[in-house]
Amino acid sequence: MSNTTPILCARHVTKRYGKFTAVNDISLDILPGTVHSVIGPNGAGKTTLFHTLTGTTPITTGSIQVEGEEVAHLPGHRRVRKGLARSFQVTSLFPNLSVRENLRLAAQGKHPYAALNPWRRPELLRAACDSAEQLLTRLNLQTVAERISAELSHGQQRRLEVGMAMAAQPKVIFLDEPTSGMGIDDIGEMKQLIHSLRDSATVVLIEHNMDIVMDISDQITVMQQGQILAQGKPAEIRSDERVRRAYLGSMITGGKA
């Protein structure tokens, strides 16, 4: 965490839908090797901000740099090659393939063109298999490796989705509400998994569960009505009067803090 050169810089990012401004002049620095959470009430523009950063939706105005390189107008698949990966609220698994096959495919996707080269295929397949086995362990899915992904529990599916994003070995991984709809046991496991990601990547996290956000974030950005309301470390956000009024009040005083 000593590296203070941002891996991702967003400047004056604005996204309009017709006359409605969903993301309004957001500027953000994401530092490498950190968990940076984006929180805020429903409709604040968090998911829309993610979509503009990952290239899922075109930006209206503004600049987005990844390691100093402008990507604001690159399509999503080109940003993947710059090292951005995302895990959606919507499931992105191949339901009829096994857990292991899902991970192997995702790992192969790292070299989409090289995989077409017959001379490099065996070597790349071996690498994809190795990385799938490592992921199975990290995701705690070894015991269900042969099951088709449609048969997994909800919590296991959500972990596998994060694993699919990890398989490409991204520099920055975007997670939009990875614990939504989860039971308490699965939430604990997901929290540990997200926290462990920052050893090898940078995590940008949208999350409504304040216990998780306050425990594992290095930096928190609070959004409200498309804009940044506050930014800081968990302790600063927790004690910020404006944040309490806008969003956290009931959640924090009613929670473990």
Query: Contact positions toward ligand ATP, by CB under 6 A?
Result: 17, 20, 22, 40, 42-48
The H or E element containing residue 232 is strand 227-232
Cβ-based nearer residue to ligand ATP, 83 or 247: 247
Q: Are 243 and 222 in contact (CB under 8 A)?
A: yes
Q: What strands lie across the sheet with 172-176, from one edge to the other?
A: 84-87, 172-176, 202-206, 35-39, 219-224, 227-232
CB of 40 to ligand ATP, least distance (A): 6
E strands of 31-168, at which residues? 35-39, 61-66, 69-70, 84-87
Number of residues binding to Mg ion, judged by CB under 5 A: 1
Q: Which does 55 bind (CB under 5 to 8 A by kind): Mg ion, ligand ATP, none?
A: none
Q: Name the 3-class secondary structure at 209.
A: coil
Question: C-beta of 43: minimal distance to ligand ATP in Å?
Answer: 4
DSSP 53: H
Place of tokens 């940076």: 36
x/- string (CB under 5 A) for Mg ion, residues 37-76? ----------x-----------------------------
The minimum distance between CB 249 and ligand ATP, in angstroms, equals: 17
Choosing among ligand ATP, Mg ion, none, which partner's interface includes residue 48 (Cβ < 5 to 8 Å by kind)? ligand ATP
- Nearest residue to Mg ion, using CB? 47
Residues 6+ apart with CB under 8 A from 252: 210, 238, 244
Q: How far apart are CA 168 and CA 200, in angstroms?
A: 12
Nearer to Mg ion, 88 or 237 (CB): 88
Comparing CA positions, the residue from 140, 42, 145, 25 lying closest to residue 89 is 42
Closer CB to ligand ATP, residue 45 or residue 170? 45
Residue 42 partner contact from ligand ATP, Mg ion, none using kind-dependent CB cut-offs of 5 to 8 Å? ligand ATP
Select from Mg ion, ligand ATP, none the partner in contact with residue 183, using the beta carbon and a kind-dependent cut-off of 5 to 8 Å.
Answer: none
Beta pairing class for 219-224 and 227-232: antiparallel
- Which contiguous run of DSSP H or E holds residue 227? strand 227-232
102 touches Mg ion (CB under 5 A): no
The torsion defined by the Cα of 37, 41, 43 and 45, in degrees rounded to 10, comes to -30
CB of residue 76 to ligand ATP, shortest distance in Å? 15
Residue 184, both tokens: 């308490």
| Smaller CB separation from ligand ATP, 40 or 55 | 40
State the minimum distance, in angstroms, from the CB of residue 77 to ligand ATP.
Answer: 20
Candidates 257, 239, 217; CA nearest to 39 is: 217
Min dist. Cβ of residue 46 to Mg ion (A): 5
Find the shortest distance in angstroms from Cβ 60 to ligand ATP.
Answer: 12
Of residues 15 and 104, the one with the C-beta less far from ligand ATP: 15
Q: List, in sequence order, every residue forming a beta bridge with 98; answer none if it has no partner.
A: 148
Query: Which residues lie near Mg ion (CB under 5 A)?
Result: 47
